[in-house]
Structure 1
Amino acid sequence: MKTHTLLAALVLALSPVVAGASGPAPPVPAASATAELVPTGPAAPSEPVPAAPPEPAGWSWPLSPEPAVLRAFEPPPKPWLRGHRGVDLAATSFGAPVTAPASGTVSFVGVVVDRPVITLDHGNGLKSSFEPVQSELVKGAYVAEGGSLGTVLPGHCATSPCVHWGVRRGEDYVNPLAFVMDLRPSVLLPPLDPAPG
């Protein structure tokens, strides 16, 4: 509709010149900012372009030195089923410091069932939770990457000191190791041709 109005205005503005009428033609009204534009470039692709595989986030390990993974991420096939929604990391000892893998704000600190838990909101929908961790921090406290979250307590890996680390993106649990390691599959390249000669 707006295109027809613009064309009609142009015809009316040029009609005295076309008809041979004397006198200057009235000014042509400028196209409004809301006028419909007709695309002149190539058409948009009809098929969605597949997303590139996610890059590692470059976070730090929450334990030092780099811990062994005692139990891997094993998400359940359905959200309500049993699974392992994080990773268990070996700590050097009970009382070992647990640090923030990325900067964030404490969104929860307290006891869940029978274990002390601390949750850090990293922004962009990402949250890390650690248990069993004794912490003196309070909800709303900002912690920089590498800053202290608390210390490892007994209660998760039988008699071994360990920390359960879970990461959520929104409501979905994701593999925490993807934030500290490159988990993309290795690609085998063909052998190089030997140099001639």
Structure 2
Amino acid sequence: MNLTLLPSSASKWAAIAAFSATAFLSGLALPTTARDIPAAQSWISPLPGARPVITSYHPESKSAKRGGVKTPKGAHMGVDFIATFGEEIRAPQDGVISYIGNVNKIPIVVLTHLDQLVLRRTTYLPASTDFTVGHLVAQGENFARVAPIFHCARPCLHWGERIGNKYSNPMKHLGKAVLLPRFD
């Protein structure tokens, strides 16, 4: 399932709009009884197996501007899993690759998910991919690899989530985390 688009901004938004319209229209045929309603698709971890979390999601109350986005000062707006360089990253939910680039010289890949008509994006860094913006990914599909750049004191994968323009803790989709002592 590969959708190749021109790398222009207009074509990016056209792909997202087409993806959103298809998902919306497919939801118009609603079930008629409660027993016909399918269970919501569970999320999966972007890395296979049980993974210790090096740094957890922890927003703080003081505000600062980072990259034009208002985020709490000193906050960690995602979770860092122990990983190995080159390890495959899999989609926790169906989505489309909506951004590939660098943030503070660290390569990042962003997936956009349609969740009950809410704009939900998940971010992965350091990450690299052979796909292009607009590539549709199915849950569990390997879409990127952990890039050989240190974001943490040891190889890790940062997984973040934004719902609209607000940060959210992606771990809420997976259950309890296993925290390790801080590594310096």
Q: Is TM (by shorter chain) over 0.5?
A: yes
Rg (Cα) greater in structure: 1
Show the counterpart of 2:57.
73
Partners of 1:131 and 1:174 in 2: CA distance: 16
Partner secondary structure for residue 171 of structure 2: helix
The size of the alignment, in residue pairs, is 126
Match of residue 181, structure 1, among 171, 175, 181: 175
Question: Structure 1 stretches of 5 or more lacking a match?
Answer: 1-55, 184-197
AA in 2 matched with 1:97 = E
Residues 13-28 of structure 1 correspond to what in structure 2 (within 5 A)? Answer: none
Partners of 2:144 and 2:56 in 1: CA distance: 23
Matched, 1:156 2:151: yes
Partners of 1:76 and 1:150 in 2: CA distance: 30
1:112, distance to aligned residue in structure 2 (A): 1.5
Partners of 2:129 and 2:173 in 1: CA distance: 23
Give every structure 1 segment of 4 or more consecutive aligned residues whose post-TM-superposition deviation is greater than 3 Å. none
AA in 2 matched with 1:167 = E
AA in 1 matched with 2:82 = A
AA in 1 matched with 2:135 = A
Show the counterpart of 2:44.
60
Match of residue 98, structure 2, among 66, 91, 107: 107
Larger relative strand fraction: 2
Q: 1:182 to 1:89 in 2, by over 3 A?
A: closer
User: Deviation digits for residues 93-142 of structure 1, max 9, x if unmatched?
Assistant: 21111111111011101112211100000112111000001111211110
Match of residue 95, structure 1, among 68, 86, 101: 86
Show the counterpart of 1:186.
none
Partners of 1:174 and 1:57 in 2: CA distance: 19
CA contact (8 A) 1:129 1:167 kept: yes
Partner secondary structure for residue 109 of structure 1: strand
Partner secondary structure for residue 125 of structure 1: strand
Partner secondary structure for residue 151 of structure 2: coil
Question: Structure 2 stretches of 5 or more lacking a match?
Answer: 1-39, 64-70, 178-184
Matched, 1:140 2:99: no
Partners of 2:87 and 2:76 in 1: CA distance: 23
Instruction: State the TM-score, normalized to the length of structure 1.
Output: 0.60
Partners of 1:182 and 1:63 in 2: CA distance: 15
User: Deviation digits for residues 66-99 of structure 1, max 9, x if unmatched?
Assistant: 21111110113233523000000111x2111111
User: Deviation digits for residues 117-170 of structure 1, max 9, x if unmatched?
Assistant: 000001121110000011112111100001112111231112x22100000111
Instruction: State the TM-score, normalized to the length of structure 2.
Output: 0.64
Show the counterpart of 2:123.
129
Match of residue 75, structure 2, among 74, 83, 95: 83
CA contact (8 A) 1:109 1:137 kept: no
Give identity over the alignment, percent: 32
Partners of 1:57 and 1:115 in 2: CA distance: 31
